[in-house]
C-alpha cells in the first residue's frame, strides 16, 4: 500500500473511480511500476514527496504492472517506470524513466491550476459574452503577473488573433520557450496568424468572388478566398480554393495551394472526415 494522503494504489476494478473521476478535479499522475524495477524505486519517493508538498493540487496513483497487466496493456506500457498524466479522463502528458525532480516539476507546472488560470477563465468568460477588449486587458494582467503560465499565453494569443492584433499575438508566442515552439497548439496559432495576415491584405470576399466569376484560374483570388474562409472557420471551402490552386498552378507562390491544405490539416482534428477526404484529393494531384 502507498503510505501518503495524496498517493494511492489502483487496480482494474477501481481505476475509473480513483484515476478518471479524480482527474476531473485535479491532475492525476499514474505511475506504472513493478517491484523488480530499480528506477521505479528511485522515482516513487520523489512523486510521493511532491504530492505531499503540493498538498492535493495533484495526486499520484500507482499501478503494479505485474498484477495489473490489463491496465498496462490498455495504456500501452512498454517500459518502466512510465508516468501518465490524466486530466478530464484522458492522458494529457507522460514521461518515461526516473526523471529528475526538476523535470517532474516542469511537467506538473503545465497542468496544475494557478491563480492566473482562474483569471484566465474569467477572461474567457468575458470573451464569450462579447467583451473581448475587456477580456484581453484582464488576461494581459494575468500574463504579466505569471509569465511562465503557457496556458495564459496561449489564450491571450488566441484573443489577440480574434481581435486582429496579429503582431501582438506573434510577440506573445515568441515569449514561449524555444523547446515548445514546434508543439501543435503553438503551430496552429501561428497558422491562424498567417491566414489572418493573408486575409487582411486580400480584397473583400465579394470582389474576390467577382474575379473568379470572370477567371476561374485566378490563383490570387483563390488564395485570398482560401485564407478568408480559413479565418472564418469554413475549412471545407478554404480547402476547395487551395485544391483549385493546385489544379491550376503548382508553382503559384512556391506551391501555396498544397501548403495551404497542409496548414488546414493542422487546424482540424485528424478524426474529422474532411482530413482524409482532402488528403486523398491532394495526393491525387501530387502523383
Intervals of CATH 3.40.30.10 along the chain: 7-109
Question: What pLDDT sits at residue 180?
Answer: 86
Mean pLDDT, residues 21-44:
97
User: Where in the chain does DSSP place strands (E)?
Assistant: 7-9, 28-33, 59-64, 82-87, 90-96
- Return d(Cα 119, Cα 61) in angstroms, integer: 29
> Which one of the listed residues 18, 37, 135, 193 is annotated catalytic?
37
pLDDT: is 1 or 9 the higher one? 9
Res 2 pLDDT > 80? no
Confidence grade of residue 3 (pLDDT, cut at 50, 70, 90): low
Residues with Cβ within 8 Å of 48's Cβ and at least 6 positions away in sequence, in order, are 2, 4, 6, 7, 60
Give the Cα separation of 146 and 114 in Å (integer): 9
pLDDT at 257 over 90: yes
Active site residue 40: yes
Whether pTM > 0.85 for this model: the answer is no
Question: Is residue 109 predicted with pLDDT exceeding 50?
Answer: yes
Query: Phi and psi (nearest 5°) for 8?
Result: -140, 160
Share of the chain above pLDDT 90, in %: 93
Residue 266 has pLDDT above 80, yes or no: yes
219 a catalytic residue: no
DSSP 185-207: HHHHHHHHHHHHHHHHHSPPHHH
Average confidence (pLDDT) over 194-221: 97
Task: Record the cell numbers describing residue 56, joined without a space.
Answer: 492535493
Do 83 and 95 meet the contact criterion of CB atoms below 8 Å apart?
yes
Residue 101: CB atoms within 10 A of its CB come to 12
CATH topology for 7-109 is Glutaredoxin (3.40.30)
Task: Average the pLDDT over each of 77-81, 112-116, 187-191 and give the range with the smallest value.
Answer: 112-116
Q: Please state whether the peptide bond connecting residue 81 to the residue before it is cis, i.e. omega within 30 degrees of 0.
A: yes
Write down the pLDDT at residue 228: 98
CATH class for the domain made up of 202-286: mainly alpha
- Are residues 173 and 157 in contact, defined by beta-carbon separation less than 8 angstroms? yes
pLDDT of residue 1: 44
pLDDT value for 287? 80
CATH 1.25.40.10 positions along the chain are: 115-181
pLDDT at 251 over 90: yes
CATH for 115-181, among 1.10.645.10, 1.25.40.10, 3.30.70.270, 3.40.50.300?
1.25.40.10
Which of 18, 26, 40, 71 is catalytic? The answer is: 40
Res 15: pLDDT: 98
Amino acid at each position: 500500500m502507498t503510505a501518503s494522503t495524496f498517493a494511492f494504489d489502483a487496480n482494474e476494478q477501481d481505476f475509473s473511480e480513483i484515476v478518471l473521476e479524480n482527474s476531473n478535479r485535479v491532475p492525476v499522475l499514474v505511475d506504472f511500476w513493478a517491484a523488480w524495477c530499480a528506477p521505479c524505486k528511485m522515482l516513487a519517493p520523489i512523486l510521493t514527496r511532491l504530492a505531499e508538498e503540493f498538498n492535493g493540487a495533484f495526486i499520484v496513483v500507482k499501478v503494479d504492472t505485474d498484477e495489473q497487466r490489463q491496465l498496462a496493456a490498455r495504456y500501452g506500457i512498454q517500459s518502466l517506470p512510465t508516468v501518465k498524466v490524466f486530466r478530464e479522463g484522458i492522458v494529457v502528458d507522460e514521461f518515461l524513466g526516473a526523471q529528475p525532480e526538476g523535470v517532474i516539476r516542469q511537467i506538473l507546472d503545465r497542468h496544475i491550476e494557478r491563480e492566473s488560470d482562474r483569471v484566465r477563465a474569467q477572461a474567457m468568460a468575458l470573451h464569450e459574452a462579447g467583451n473581448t477588449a475587456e477580456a484581453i486587458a484582464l488576461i494581459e494582467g494575468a500574463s504579466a503577473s505569471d509569465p511562465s503560465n503557457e496556458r495564459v499565453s496561449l489564450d491571450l494569443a488566441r484573443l489577440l488573433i480574434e481581435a486582429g492584433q496579429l503582431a501582438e499575438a506573434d510577440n506573445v508566442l515568441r515569449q514561449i520557450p524555444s523547446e515548445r515552439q514546434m508543439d501543435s497548439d503553438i503551430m496552429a496559432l501561428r497558422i491562424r496568424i498567417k491566414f489572418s495576415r493573408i486575409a487582411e491584405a486580400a480584397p473583400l470576399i465579394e470582389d474576390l468572388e467577382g474575379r473568379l466569376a470572370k477567371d476561374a484560374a485566378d490563383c490570387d483570388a483563390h488564395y485570398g478566398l482560401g485564407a478568408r474562409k480559413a479565418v472564418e472557420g469554413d475549412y471545407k471551402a478554404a480547402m476547395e480554393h487551395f485544391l483549385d490552386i493546385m489544379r491550376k498552378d503548382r508553382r503559384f507562390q512556391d506551391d501555396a495551394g498544397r501548403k495551404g491544405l497542409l496548414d488546414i490539416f493542422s487546424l482540424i482534428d485528424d478524426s474529422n472526415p474532411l482530413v482524409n477526404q482532402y488528403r486523398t484529393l491532394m495526393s491525387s494531384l501530387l502523383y
